[in-house]
């Protein structure tokens, strides 16, 4: 009877893990505020082990743009699809000079098993992909707490679903948080970092739903003394006095 009860409990736990039930990660409620680094803050530094060896962040990445992509646990189905989509976009991130790091709260040995399992999958009928970016081990939750995803007095990992986009000066430029039940849009992350690179290098802004190759918005209204011909020669046009665009190069 005891063996039967133990078997039922183990089966129930594994089933909840496989389904990525958010309640699996529920911990004690806390009212403690979280020190989440926000846009304009320096990205917290850390040293950790990964599937690519020891990571010294951000020092190992020089003047690169960086994406930190975090997970509450390995072998969860939603997170697995996200990493496979990131791996599918690796070449495009490389062309932009963007370094991707995936952080998960399991130990390194589990990361290695998860990586091996993912690299054998034919996701969306695509050929299996090699995961070149590191899976960083955060078993003691140090990184997750530095980035405000876990309150310092709590051990629950259900909120470790953050994304931080960090510029070459190691300043955070975008922050996202997602629920456990909804997969992240990796195409949007690629669009966001493409837009951030353009706005930083060209001192422009992007309109809603902007994609690479679209016209951009200028930050300052052109001089009222400039003629239409002069403005047009610079690729400038407007829809209203407060909305000036510049044609894409």
- Of 207, 223, 226, 216, which is closest to residue 249 (Cα–Cα)? 216
CA proximity to 148, closest of 140, 159, 132: 159
Residue 58: asked if its preceding bond is cis (omega within 30°), the reply is yes
The helices-and-strands tally (H runs, E runs) of the chain is 7, 11
**Residue 241: alpha-carbon gap to chain centroid:** 36
CA distances from 238 to 192, 209, 247 (A): 24, 18, 11
> How buried is residue 200: exposed, middle or buried, by Cβ count under 10 Å (0-12/13-18/19+)?
middle
* β-bridge pairing 46-50 and 216-218: unpaired
* CA distances (Å), origin 220, targets 148, 194, 217: 36, 22, 9
Residue numbers annotated as active site: 79
């Amino acid at each position: 009877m005891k063996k039967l009860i133990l078997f039922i409990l183990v089966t129930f736990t594994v089933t909840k893990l496989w389904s990525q039930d958010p309640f699996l990660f529920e911990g004690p409620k806390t009212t403690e505020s979280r020190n989440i680094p926000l846009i304009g803050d320096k990205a917290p530094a850390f040293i950790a082990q990964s599937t690519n060896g020891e990571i010294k962040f951000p020092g190992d990445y020089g003047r690169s743009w960086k994406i930190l992509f975090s997970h509450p646990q390995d072998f969860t189905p939603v997170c697995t699809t996200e990493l496979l989509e990131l791996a599918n976009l690796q070449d495009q991130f490389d062309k932009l000079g963007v370094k991707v790091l995936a952080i998960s709260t399991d130990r390194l040995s589990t990361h290695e098993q998860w990586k091996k399992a993912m690299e054998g999958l034919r996701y969306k009928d695509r050929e299996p992909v090699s995961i070149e970016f590191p899976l960083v081990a955060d078993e003691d939750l140090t990184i997750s707490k530095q980035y405000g995803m876990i309150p310092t007095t709590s051990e629950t990992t259900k909120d470790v679903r953050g994304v931080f986009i960090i510029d070459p000066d190691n300043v955070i430029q975008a922050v996202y948080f997602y629920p456990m039940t909804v997969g992240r849009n990796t195409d949007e992350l690629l669009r966001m970092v493409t837009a951030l690179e353009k706005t930083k290098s060209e001192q422009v802004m992007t309109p809603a739903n902007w994609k690479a190759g679209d016209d951009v918005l200028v930050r300052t209204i052109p001089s009222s003394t400039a003629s239409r011909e002069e403005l047009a020669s610079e690729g400038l046009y407007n829809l209203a006095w407060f909305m000036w665009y510049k044609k894409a190069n």
